[in-house]
Structure 1
């Protein structure tokens, strides 16, 4: 029995871990935790920086235009006349007439610099509008995303965005009826369209554009010459709301509607821009001047006379 015990004792080996090995495992865990913490902090800092950059983009853009206006003198009358002359005398049959271009040019020239100019439609006059609004901000809205991207690539100074129109000219009467029914709710004349579900309100523009105080708005798009085309009802409605929803002062907004002789443009303008605001109608251009409206207003026009 003793011999068995002794043999057992002789075969038993005591295994001990050296303190260095224990320290090494603990050190590896600490390094792993440190790396994870470092990556977490870096991610949070990146996220915060990105949010701050996005939120300040609109104000920074506005400040840059103001700075440019302070350092760059306005275009001379001679240069403006030359631009208007050569633009209107082009062989392109889709261009505006001299009379129409001059009306818009005169308003831009009188605008307090920097001028915010919103244009619905990328047209043969696109570069002209950008040039005439020399120190201001000119933004173009178009239905064709590929053409908007092409224009920005070819002319980097152009600021253009695409928008999805869901309207059809054949639905004109139905759309006008819907707006009248919802004028107390989603289709109010004073609102932030970014949060609106009105069928004629464009709510998918870049957020910053809803915050700008627009001095001049030109409706020269989208296409509207066949029944299934989007028409300009939504553009006219949006222009009317943006002009009435200004936050600062009693500053007026000039709204121009091109192809004013066509039914959709005429009826939509009577409905949302109103005859009492019509300053001039000559050739193919209607010129309206709209003022800021009370936030609780539920009527576009004082004297509603138009009907679908």
Structure 2
């Protein structure tokens, strides 16, 4: 039998509803449009939100120092305390003279005066270094934002003569006066501090530690050498004030004159010696002291000593 062709007619409602499965597709398009609009609105809201405030950092040197009245009161009570192994009034005033404005202050030794130095350097950054981890933890627990780090000294007072001969022998190598201490192999260089401490341009360095009162104690040989290199290796041209306590002791005196240099000594107050160390170019010399090079003795400029003369805490 011959088949007869058939004509299929589609009703207009078929197109109106999108054909087979058209309703489901339409719903998906609407959902896609809704979520796209939501995502766009959320993104615009995030962009318009204000940025969170920056995390707190250490105060900059633009902060005003303590008033002369407050500073004088702090010095008075520190000098009149009954604690042993403390600085004399003349020594306290000498250190305060170097802290007339907020500074980057590095202190070797956690002593009776630690909180005084931190208070006098109001607005600056004060960092302490000590070999006693327990003492550091106690200070950090009791005082907020107290910054201190432990140092593992490998030197002994009994070996100081060998160490100074070693430093002289390697002055053109690992014990040179201008270098990055982080990579130093010199036996009297402190090279295991947190990396960022070597990048700070220290304005004042106070050496009142580690212990040096017996042959088996670490002594201050490494502290004095490290302070001398930090001062000479600064990237900024400003001088560094280095104060050495117990200067009457043989090790402190010999190492200070060897690396901080007698020509840089600007004053002595009882057992405290105050040196002003200038920055030096790495190609200038391999000697720490100009007198040992046969050159002219550098004179400390009036700008370097302006704080010492004008400071309101200074004793006559």
TM-score tier after normalising by the smaller chain length: 0.7 to 0.9
Residue from 138, 141, 160 that aligns with 1:150: 138
After superposition, where does 1:155-304 map in structure 2 within 5 Å? 155-248=143-236, 250-296=237-283, 297-304=285-292
Does residue 65 (structure 1) correspond to residue 59 (structure 2)? The answer is yes
| 3-state SS of 1:304 partner | helix
Q: Separation in 2 of the partners of 1:207 and 1:189? A: 19
Does residue 135 (structure 1) correspond to residue 149 (structure 2)? The answer is no
| 3-state SS of 1:303 partner | helix
Which structure has more RCO (C-alpha within 8 Å, separation ≥ 6)? 2
Structure 1 residue 199: Cα displacement:
0.4
Match of 2:91 in 1: 100
Q: Separation in 2 of the partners of 1:64 and 1:235? A: 24
Q: Separation in 1 of the partners of 2:58 and 2:270? A: 37
Structure 1 residue 291: Cα displacement:
0.5
TM-score by length of 1: 0.75
Which 4+ runs in 1 deviate beyond 4 A?
A: none
Structure 1 residue 304: Cα displacement:
3.1
Q: Separation in 1 of the partners of 2:291 and 2:58? A: 41
CA contact (8 A) 2:110 2:128 kept: yes
Higher helix share: 1
Q: Separation in 2 of the partners of 1:88 and 1:190? A: 37
Structure 1, unpaired ranges of 5+ = 1-59
When the two chains are superposed, the root-mean-square deviation of aligned CA atoms in Å is 1.5
Q: Separation in 1 of the partners of 2:134 and 2:184? A: 26
Q: Separation in 2 of the partners of 1:64 and 1:141? A: 18
| 3-state SS of 1:108 partner | coil
CA contact (8 A) 1:200 1:233 kept: yes
After superposition, where does 1:68-87 map in structure 2 within 5 Å? 70=62, 72-87=63-78
State which structure, 1 or 2, has the greater radius of gyration over its C-alpha atoms. Answer: 2
Match of 1:54 in 2: none
Q: Separation in 1 of the partners of 2:140 and 2:73? A: 25
Query: How many residues end up aligned between the 2 structures?
Result: 238
CA contact (8 A) 1:271 1:304 kept: no
Q: Separation in 2 of the partners of 1:100 and 1:134? A: 19
TM-score by length of 2: 0.73
